[in-house]
Structure 1
Amino acid sequence: MKQLPFQPTAMNEQLIVKNFGPIKDATVDFKRVTVFIGPTGGGKSTLAKLAAVFHDERIYFESKLSEILRNYSINNYMQNNSYLQFSTATITSLFDSNLKISSRKRDDARINSEGEEDIRRDLKSIGEKVLNTINSMPSQNYKDLNNIDEVILQENENTLYNLITEVRNLLKNNHGHHFTSSKQIYIPAERTFISSIEYSWAGLLKDNIGLSILILEFANSFSLSRKTVSELDIHFLNAKYLHLNGRDFIEIPNRKEPLMLLETSSGMQSVTPLLVLIEHLNRNTEQAQSFIIEEPELNLYPTAQQGLLNWLVEKCTKGENDLTITTHSPYILSHLNLLLYAYQVAEQHPERADEVAELVPRESWINPKEFACYQVENGGVISLVNEDLGLIDDNGLDGLSGDAADAFDNLIRLSKGVALK
């Protein structure tokens, strides 16, 4: 039997947020697949953006952390009593209310502002030595002076090599542990805008009209991805993406000429840039990637949402990659349960795994040990996963549509002449 899809990995990533924007107190343990659901303005995107911030290596080397937070439109969320902490298997990093970052290894070898200054001073000293060594190296014009210059050149090359090794060790011992294991890929909900402007985004950036940095970065990434992904089948929409002569088209059945992407439905315009970019990035196997996607279900019919989710789990959890999504859709949660249960049935009955795969694509199965789902509401989070069953709890699913169901039940009572208490 084929091996089950992705096996458990020790991600050990945890985010603690207190008094930051709409979040009052929340602790999130990120898994291979992590889902946030909740009402508008509840804080789903805040948590997703913070996960992206802490996966952005720039925050560990640049002093103007507020600029990075501004890129995610959360720079004004910090309060005097805010607390942000992000932990991996090897490092814990936190912001204080002044947007200063400090980090510590698991062995509590703390790196604070004084330690950072020591590192900069050491690097500056090494840099000066490198420049002095380069300046002392003989010119090629004097190679005819016996072999003296060659000896000097060799000695200086050895010196440069030793200095480079020193820099490498310095970074490894003091900064290297900061690096997150994966590169963040943030896909904002505003991506529906991209299909309308096509290549005009560059001019919009030049004119500085105030578009979000996230949407501009996504537009740039999508533009680059089209150079390598000129065709892409979109099976769950029964369509095909084509990039021809610098334009984006969608080919659909029973139509001779393809439609321009901007002429298609809002759902097609929302999902196509996302798919093309992920397909492009999926071909990069050099570094693990953390895909963080806001509302992947935008403008899609429920069955299309399910097909998209299958595709995202397959593409975004390959190797050491992981997937985090925010959503408003109970259909997404219901389908996640299907993917979780398919894994469990195949694990418990290996001899039936192929039959399970005929019902649910094998590449989309989700190991319950690698799954987390949180309701984000009232300033906090509640896990919706039933640990015993390895599924999203029925109470969590029912709660999302409970008000409508209760109202319908009450209408039935009224129609039968039963007074409401």
Structure 2
Amino acid sequence: MKRLLIKNFGPIEDAHLTLGQVNIITGMQSSGKSCVLKTACYCSWVEKRLELTQKVNGLGKGSTFIDVMADYYKMNGYVQDDTYIEYETRHMKFSYDHSSKTFKMNWKSKRWDYRRPKVSYIPTDRNLVAAIPGWSLLSMDGNMIEFMSDWDKARRFVKREENFLDLGMSYSYDSMSNSDKIRLENGTPLMLRESSSGVQSLLPMYVHLDYLVNGQYKDRNGQISYEQKEERKNLLSTIYNRLKGKEDVLHAESVTLEGYDYSFSNREEAERFRALYNRYINVEHSEIFLEEPENNLFPPTQCKFINWLLDAIQEHDDMLFIATHSPYILNQLIKIAPKDMNVLFTYRSSDAERMYSVKQLTEDEVREIYDNGVDMFFNFELYV
């Protein structure tokens, strides 16, 4: 379980969120849904950096915490004089107060139970990878660049998707021409950029998600940089110094990792060290932040996609946070998601300044939303 607090950031005046495995946020356009989604994703990434380095590093210097986020997502105009962000998990708690340019962080009792995730934000303009030839040469914000890099890695590994979502179409990646191809149900071949807007929006999302929830656990051929190697060495040293104890005792057990030998007094210590290494170095689950999966999709296809995604995230207990305008996405999630799914609504909290807050629905309110279906979207003010 994660807890996120946002105050006076972009259009968000106040948001107190509790996040579980499956989360969904909806509300009017320009009411801060993407702002909440990006803040949650960034805080998850910060938690990962703090755990892997075991240090605050530059994040503790002045306004670095918010500057990195604003630059990455191109949200510089969102930062206000009294912006405040607080994030808490079982492993740590940190906060940033822009009024004093102060970042604070405290470890919690479950610090060493951390399990490394792949943190991924899937933007609403993902169809650019299909619509624009030579997209890798364009100048874009850091979030879009990272998504395109992840998409490129995913398509090269996945290579083919047969009859995806039972739509009668198949996808393939041609490494020789570096191109993406679609074969329609009647056998007609198309380049991805020649396909419908729905397919151009769906395919990059589907292939990337298939890699996140399945392919990455089979793809062990990735190269790591010198900086990543140094990070691993420093992390191993920190873990080793914590486990080996202060006394210089007989070294009865030895473990070799990343080209270094680590000696321990007994097998139990050595196995604990190896287990911690595996949890920190190997990705154990994904944390997926998905923006408007309904883009250009026929309502039944939206429901098929949600069915597939909720089933896919169960194998590795992946975390899912969706921002949407679609009543079909919302109702399908309520229908088949876990009972503890979190449903969030943005609502106008200050008419004068056009600021919004976030309401987290109770189980009874979630059931009422499901019972009313599409009508809820036309009587939105009654529910918030």
Return the alpha-carbon distance in structure 2 between the equivalents of residues 393 and 232 of structure 1. 33
Q: Point out where structure 2 has 5 or more consecutive residues left out of the alignment.
A: 51-55, 218-282, 349-355
RMSD across aligned positions (CA): 2.5
- Could you tell me which residue of structure 1 aligns to residue 183 of structure 2? 251
Tell me how far 1:104 sits from its aligned partner. 1.8
- Could you tell me which residue of structure 1 aligns to residue 129 of structure 2? 194
- Structure 1, 234-243 or 303-312: larger mean CA deviation: 234-243
Aligned residue identity for 1:189:
T
Percent of aligned positions that are identical: 28
Tell me how far 1:183 sits from its aligned partner. 3.0
User: Residue by residue, what CA displacement relative to the aligned partner does 1:165-185 show, whole Å, maximum 9, x if unpaired?
Assistant: xxxxxxxx9xx6696753311
Asked whether 1:84 is paired with 2:80, we answer no
- Could you tell me which residue of structure 2 aligns to residue 261 of structure 1? 192
The secondary structure found in structure 2 opposite 1:190 is coil
Asked whether 1:398 is paired with 2:383, we answer no
CA contact (8 A) 1:91 1:177 kept: no
The secondary structure found in structure 2 opposite 1:367 is coil
Tell me how far 1:290 sits from its aligned partner. 0.3
Give me the TM-score of the superposition, normalised by structure 2.
0.70
The secondary structure found in structure 2 opposite 1:42 is coil
The 5-angstrom pairing of residues 15-414 of structure 1 reads 15-56=4-45, 57-58=48-49, 60-63=56-59, 64-65=64-65, 66-97=67-98, 99-106=101-108, 182-198=117-133, 200-204=134-138, 209=139, 211-233=140-162, 234-244=164-174, 245=176, 246-255=178-187, 257-282=188-213, 283-285=215-217, 286-339=283-336, 366-369=337-340, 371-378=341-348, 379-387=356-364, 392=369, 394=371, 398-402=375-379
Aligned residue identity for 1:216:
I
Aligned residue identity for 1:46:
C
CA contact (8 A) 2:331 2:373 kept: no
User: Residue by residue, what CA displacement relative to the aligned partner does 1:321-360 show, whole Å, maximum 9, x if unpaired?
Assistant: 1111100001111212321xxxxxxxxxxxxxxxxxxxxx
Distance 1:32-1:397 versus aligned 2 partners, 3 A rule: farther
Aligned residue identity for 1:80:
D
Return the alpha-carbon distance in structure 1 between the equivalents of residues 344 and 44 of structure 2. 20
Return the alpha-carbon distance in structure 2 between the equivalents of residues 217 and 53 of structure 1. 13
Larger Rg: 1
The secondary structure found in structure 1 opposite 2:156 is coil
Return the alpha-carbon distance in structure 1 between the equivalents of residues 35 and 285 of structure 2. 23
Tell me how far 1:106 sits from its aligned partner. 4.1
CA contact (8 A) 2:159 2:173 kept: yes
Return the alpha-carbon distance in structure 2 between the equivalents of residues 269 and 251 of structure 1. 13
Q: Which has the higher strand share?
A: 2
Aligned residue identity for 2:169:
A
CA contact (8 A) 2:335 2:370 kept: no
Q: Point out where structure 1 has 5 or more consecutive residues left out of the alignment.
A: 1-11, 108-172, 340-365, 404-421
Return the alpha-carbon distance in structure 2 between the equivalents of residues 389 and 327 of structure 1. 16
Aligned residue identity for 1:275:
Y
Q: Paired residues, what number?
A: 291
Aligned residue identity for 1:380:
S
Return the alpha-carbon distance in structure 2 between the equivalents of residues 183 and 253 of structure 1. 34
Give me the TM-score of the superposition, normalised by structure 1.
0.64
- Structure 1, 329-338 or 392-401: larger mean CA deviation: 392-401
Distance 1:290-1:392 versus aligned 2 partners, 3 A rule: farther
Return the alpha-carbon distance in structure 1 between the equivalents of residues 71 and 104 of structure 2. 20
CA contact (8 A) 2:91 2:114 kept: no
Aligned residue identity for 2:125:
E
CA contact (8 A) 2:22 2:338 kept: no
Return the alpha-carbon distance in structure 1 between the equivalents of residues 365 and 190 of structure 2. 49
Return the alpha-carbon distance in structure 2 between the equivalents of residues 389 and 85 of structure 1. 26
Q: Which has the higher helix share?
A: 1
Tell me how far 1:281 sits from its aligned partner. 2.1
User: Residue by residue, what CA displacement relative to the aligned partner does 1:247-283 show, whole Å, maximum 9, x if unpaired?
Assistant: 101111113x411100111010001011111112222
Return the alpha-carbon distance in structure 1 between the equivalents of residues 327 and 366 of structure 2. 19
CA contact (8 A) 2:331 2:370 kept: no
User: Residue by residue, what CA displacement relative to the aligned partner does 1:20-56 show, whole Å, maximum 9, x if unpaired?
Assistant: 1111111111111100001111010011001111111
CA contact (8 A) 1:43 1:377 kept: no
